[in-house]
Structures are given as C-alpha cells and as structure tokens.
Amino acid sequence: MSRPPKGRASTGQKIEQALEKALDPLATALKRATASAPARAAPGKPGLEVSPLAVPFPTIPPIGGVEIATARAGFYKHERDDLVVFRFARGTTCAGVFTRHKIGSAPVDWCKRHLDAPDGGNDVRGLVINAGCANAFTGKAGADAARRTASETAKRFGCRQRDVMLASTGVIGVVLDDRKITARLNDLEVALDGDMHPTDQWTRAGLGIMTTDTFPKGSYAECKIDGHTVRIAGIAKGSGMIAPDMATMLGFIVTDAAIAPPVLRALLGLHVRTTFNSVTVDGDTSTNDTCLLFATGSSGAPRIGRVGDRRLKEFSAALDRVMLDLAHQLVRDGEGATKFVRVTVDGAASPASARKLAKSIADSPLVKTALAGEDANWGRVVMAVGKTEEPVDRDRLAIRFGPHVAAIEGAPSPHYDEAKMSAYMKNAEIDITVDVGSGRASATVWTCDLTKRYVEINGDYRS
C-alpha cells in the first residue's frame, strides 16, 4: 500500500487531526475535572496543607453586643495574626468549662477563679486570646503575665480586670510576653470600632487562634426564645493533643440571648459531654482546654434565670448543634487526618461503659493506622474492646463498618465480602458500629485516622 509523501497527511489523517483539535478543549476540561485538586497551603503554620476533610467557614450575621478584632503580636515568627480580642456590651454574662489536666495553664486558672467567685460571670466585658504561647507550666511569672494582660485590657474597656477572660494556646513552658499584647491594644481598639462585616470578624478570629490547625472553624445557628429570634455563633481551634477531657481545644461561643451565669453553666455541662468530650485525635489532653459561652442579652428576648425554664428547649438544641459542629471540625482537622470516623458502641451495660469502650476503639493507634491504610482490620477493634475490662459478651459481639457486617455473634460473619468492605474503606467518612451484647446503653465518639503526616507535624512542632 502506497503512503502519502513525507510531510503530507492523508485525508483520513486530516480528519483525525481536525477531530482532535475540535475535541481538545473538551478533553482538557475533562482532564481538569477528573484530576485531583492540588493541596492548598494552610493559612496557619508554614508547611501545612489544608485538611482534605475541611469544611467552609459559615456566614455569620451581626450578633448584638459583641465586636471582634485581631492583630499580629509576634508570638509566631512568620507573618500572621496571633492575637484576638472580643469586646462585650455591659451586662454580658459568661460561663466556662475547662481542662481537668493536673497542670492547668495561667489563663485557665484566671478564668476559673473569677467565674467561680460570688457573682462571677455577671458582667464580663472582654476576652483576650493569643496563639503561639500556651503560658502553661510557667509558675508565678506566667500568672503575673496573665494578670497584667487582663489589667491593661480592662483599662481600655472601662471595667474591672476580673471581667476580662483570657485564653492561650501554643508551646508549653514559655512565659507569656504580655508586652507584645499591650503594644497592640491601641490598634485593636481602632479595629473594634471599625465596620468590618461580622463574618469577616469571626473568620479572622478563627484564623487568629490557630496553631497547627489548617482551616478556621466556625458555626452558627438561630432559634426562638419566647418568640424572639436568638443567634448563636462560635469558633474553635484544635488539631492535635485532642482527647475527651472537657475538650482539648479552645472554643468561644457568643449568643445575643439574655441568660444568667448558672443557666449558662448548666447548659455547657449538659452538652459538652456529647460534643467536645466525645472527640479524640490522639488521646492526649491539653493544659489549656477552655470553652467559654457568652450571652450579651441584645436580642430583646426575656432573661432566663432558671435552669428548668421551658423556654430554653429550642435554645438548648441550637447550642448543642453549634458545639457538635465545632467538635466535628476539630476531628476533621486532626493532624494528618484523611478519614473522619464515627465510632458507636451499642448494647453496653451503662452509658459510661459505652463511652469507655467507644473511646478505647477511637484512641487505639492500631485501629487508627488500619483506617489510614483503608484496611477493615476488625480484629483490632476486638482488641480495643476487650482490653477495657468493661462488661462484654464475647459470644454476642458484632462489628460493622458502615452497612457491612464484619463479625456477628462472636465470630466472623458468614457473609463477609472483602471486595465490598475494601471499597467502603476508601470513603473519606467511615462508620464503625460495635454491639457488645451486655445491655442497652450506647455512646458515640468521633475520631480520625493516624497517618505518617501526624508524626511529621509533631516532630517539628516547635520549629
């Protein structure tokens, strides 16, 4: 068969080339659509990439009685805001829950002392948060730095120093250089009086409190109290050193409802158990755990002064949604995480037993590394259940990964399908359900996988 002269195309080749040229834009678009998105650099610590489980920051409308400003105080070497200040209207109430760690930080000690005092939490006017220095295990020098920070802020806000709450996060064992904070108070006051949109204020605050976090964490909800619309917004930070013990994190929630401090304390205590106390990244508890709830009273809703007030029902549910949303985001931003995992234990002898069993599974390095490898190694789940010494009926034990049964009645499932199980384990969100056959109680704990990246992040945490 004769061929066209060199350098000349046949009619068929010309048609083929024309088709390729016509289809090229479509092929390029398809290639872009099917290619995995490149990793985005995190806005916090250099060298980190945004978690693949990240969720967008919500839109937050104005909440009466609160202004927020951020600044760079210089606790970090690189360029970023690391100082956040909230200013509250007169009469704002506050309650907090804190770490049970035996070596609490200076700001934790400060907040607990003043909120637990007679009439504590009845007129809180400010909140100062710094990232980059935990001011924990710093003795009298750290306590003095905390006091000076509150005192200087109180002068600006025209209140008592006891009415300024404090929170810190970062490296343990370094005394807070409070001069870096006071040097920025003038700029912060100007920013507080500015007209920045509330969503931008909250977003910048979420960014400003980050350490190894890879995205800012925020949540918002609305509800009714006696016919009045009430708003609730919050931010949190946490990525590593996360384990249920109040909450290994910082969390700040503001509502425009009018609620007395004892009621706020009761609400926090009620919901923290199933939200911030039910997440774990690595099983380690921090020195600085703090969750503060502020109520500015600016919504026009009637003041709630009794814990059993029925008008709190809708508010309580909305607060729980905000807290659980923030808690989930902590897990989604677990250091090096690629899987968001829900562990549910059913059939336990008591709620406390169910929580202990679920936590044992969620904290197990062997379970978490299997999840990272997308391996449904249910034998490791059996190990994590049995080592707790909680009541377990071995012959009734059942384990599921999502809808797929791995074990039933104390033995491997006769219908176990390795191909289906392997396909399920590739999902970004995994459900593990275990029935221990000892009762009727249940509990859920949220966790993430444990990857090589976790070791890398924590290997150079102070650098």
DSSP string for residues in 31-87: HHHHSPPPPPBPSSSTT-B--TT--PPPP----TTEEEEEE--SSSSSSS--EEEEE
- CA-CA distance, 110 to 113, in Å (whole number)? 5
* Residues making up the chain, counted from first to last: 463
Question: How buried is residue 43: exposed, middle or buried, by Cβ count under 10 Å (0-12/13-18/19+)?
Answer: middle
- 203 vs 43, 84, 209, 333, 348, CA distance in Å? 12, 11, 10, 16, 41
Q: Which of 93, 214, 248, 280 is catalytic?
A: 248
248 is catalytic: yes
- CA-CA distance, 229 to 134, in Å (whole number)? 37
Tokens at 365, concatenated: 């390095």
Q: Closest Cα partner for 203 from 329, 70, 54, 42?
A: 70
- CA-CA distance, 452 to 248, in Å (whole number)? 22
With beta carbons less than 8 A apart as the criterion, state whether 236 and 217 touch.
yes
Query: Could you give phi then psi for residue 279, rounded to 5 degrees?
Result: -125, 150
Q: Which residues are catalytic?
A: 248
